[in-house]
Amino acid sequence: MQTEAIRAFVTVCDQGSFQAAANALHLSQPTISKRLASLETRLGHELFDRVGRGVALTEAGRAYLPHARELLAVVQDGRRALDNLHVETTGPLRLALSHHVGLHRMPEVLRAYVARHPNVTPEIVFLDSEAACRSVVNGDCELAVITLPTPPHPGLVEDCIWNDPMSVFVGQDHALANAGQVNVADLARYPAVLPPVESYTYDIVAAALAPYGLTLDPRMTSHYLETLRMLAGVGIGWTVLPTSMQHPELTRLELPGVHIERRLGAIRHPRRSLSNAARALLTMLDARRD
């Protein structure tokens, strides 16, 4: 079965329409339609319901999609295995980075990497850690360097590179900024601004504060820690940030007995071959392990 037709199917699913898929693959819309019709004929099932200009997966389409993704990943795996026969470290490196890791941990690593391996073409996408895990599972990215999930993702291999201690911060004009001795119960009287409840960092914060009876109910949420730092700094609520993000507009609260820490590192798929480019980056990351 031709991989071009399978790639067209997956791209339509990801892009949401035939035209968007055609644009993404640099093809005409009739070509996309022809490839999908050929695939449906081969499979003996319609994969999409055509509703006006939009498309929706049929039951058969939903059942086939994860297998289609896996087929494309296996094809890419074979190409990497052949590329690895060459001694040189060349070619593309599809890498996902979380925003915080990309801004605060990776610049020196990437600077050294591109200097050492000038024939590698990094293709970097910035994603939330949860989406980055999905991109590695689906085969869209070889590696991701992110906040590692707790507990570990059951379908991925992780390599912890950095421990990232976190602290509770408030703006300098917050009532708790000059309150002296502060405990977790005091936080409950004030609104919080935190990462989204579905994020790995939220889970880590919630697990650290739950033993003290604090149930989190954030006033506002954002995946971007720099945004949370700003919101806390102007007094909208207390927040939890990496301790390294201390800022003149913030006051760090000392909470007796509370220890909050994330693990940052690389994740990869255990059943897929890594390119020489990806292996070289992992080697450089391991050298920076805390």
CATH number at residue 225: 3.40.190.10
Which pLDDT value is given to residue 129?
A: 96
Which pLDDT value is given to residue 109?
A: 96
Q: Please tell me the distance from the alpha carbon of residue 179 to that of residue 238, in angstroms, as a whole number.
A: 14
Q: State yes or no: pLDDT of 28 exceeds 70.
A: yes
Q: Which residues of 45-76 are buried (b: 16+ CB within 10 A; e: fewer)?
A: ebbbeeeeeebebeeebeebbeebbebbbeeb
Residues 245 and 130 in one domain: no
The total number of residues written for the chain in this structure: 290
Hey, is 9 helix, strand or coil? helix
Count CB neighbours of 258 within 10 A.
19
Helix (H) / strand (E) containing 78: helix 59-83
Residue 235: band (very low, low, confident or very high) from pLDDT cuts 50, 70, 90: very high
Q: With beta carbons less than 8 A apart as the criterion, state whether 167 and 253 touch.
A: yes
Q: State yes or no: pLDDT of 82 exceeds 70.
A: no
Q: Please tell me the distance from the alpha carbon of residue 22 to that of residue 234, in angstroms, as a whole number.
A: 45
Residue 55: band (very low, low, confident or very high) from pLDDT cuts 50, 70, 90: confident
Segments forming the whole domain that contains residue 145: 88-161+264-286
Prediction pTM value: 0.73
Q: Please tell me the distance from the alpha carbon of residue 230 to that of residue 193, in angstroms, as a whole number.
A: 10
Query: Mean pLDDT over residues 40-54, rounded?
Result: 80
Token reading at 165: 């201690």
Place of tokens 């990869």: 268
Which pLDDT value is given to residue 13?
A: 86
Q: Please tell me the distance from the alpha carbon of residue 80 to that of residue 14, in angstroms, as a whole number.
A: 23
Residues 77 and 191 in one domain: no
Question: What is the tally of structural domains in the chain?
Answer: 3
Query: Mean pLDDT over residues 44-63, rounded?
Result: 82
Residue 7: band (very low, low, confident or very high) from pLDDT cuts 50, 70, 90: confident
Q: State yes or no: pLDDT of 1 exceeds 60.
A: no
Query: Mean pLDDT over residues 201-213, rounded?
Result: 95
Residues 202 and 242 in one domain: yes
Residues 187 and 175 in one domain: yes
Residues 65 and 183 in one domain: no
Residues 130 and 178 in one domain: no
Residues 22 and 9 in one domain: yes
Residues 157 and 174 in one domain: no
Token reading at 160: 């912890």
Residues 66 and 101 in one domain: no
Query: Mean pLDDT over residues 246-263, rounded?
Result: 94
Residues 136 and 255 in one domain: no
Q: Examine residue 30 and say whether the peptide bond preceding it is cis (omega within 30 degrees of 0).
A: no
Reported as half-sphere exposure (CB side, CA atoms, 13 A), residue 179 has a value of 18
